[in-house]
Structure 1
Amino acid sequence: MTRGSTIRAKTITPPAPTIPKIPPAQVLPRLAALQTATAAELKDQWRALFGKEPPPFNRPYLVSRLSYRVQELAYGGLKPETRARLEALGEQLDGGNVVLRRIRADSRPLPGTRLVREYDGVQHVVTVRADDFEYEGRPYRSLSAIARHITGTRWNGWTFFGLKGRPGA
């Protein structure tokens, strides 16, 4: 070897795992098997169908995602045009704000739901409406405003009324 020459090591990247195509006839039996599979079996399925380690989420999440993946591999996924359209709609709704995107809109109680809370011996009833909340015949934009009206102090309205924190939390 001459002076000043260097030895370069080649980095070998492992081949991407091959994800099996699933015959449509196997979809229903595989979906049924997911419902009774152990956590270890679900994780093995994840590795086989996604080609990577499973996330540390709960069993219902794994079953849900694996069910979708089985169907996706059997029948095909969303078309690129559909994905692009969904992304564009998401951008319109949240302005590209990733935090807003993570908040689930469906975690808000359905319109017509009555939230009941006893505070200082008085029962307070709030009715959920499509775009706001009604308390004592008046509309309020947030549960926190109602909780502040009732207690005179700042409260997270979702916590005050016994819901799990903010929507999406």
Structure 2
Amino acid sequence: MAVRPDPIPAAQAAGTSLEEELAAVAASSLDQLRPRFRALFRVPVPDCLSRDMVARLIVHRLQEQRLGKLDRSLAEQVDRLGRGQESRRRFKAGTVLVREHDGVMHEVMVVPDGFLWNGGTFASLSIIAKRITGTSWNGPRFFGLRPVLKKHAPEAAVVVDDADA
């Protein structure tokens, strides 16, 4: 008669810390991980998954259960990065964007309510770019924060970040 491997103790065991559970997963064989995977995901382990991948999925689910899932915006950002798309840049208050246009140097400071330029606060860089040029622009592209798709592109802006990292 074949001896079945002992499954990993269930997460509901009183007094089991997350660190202990993660250590138990790390020390387990694939055969020991299979029942735990099935309990957590309610499906059997797909044959194509390696022991390492099964352990990673289990650890991820345990951490979700104990610590919570990613918030929606962060999950969307991770999905975008997974598809090879660039993430949105978010500048801290105090960051200064510098752009020269028609021989005039323009400085835009990031403030909590938007962007400060020429003594006024604006909700978007596109509004500022339109005021500077007199034509519609994609603000982040105008300030060199996004790749330019055309040959005759404006020179990139200089970003000066005085905010603490």
| Normalised TM-score (structure 1) | 0.45
Q: Which has the higher helix share?
A: 1
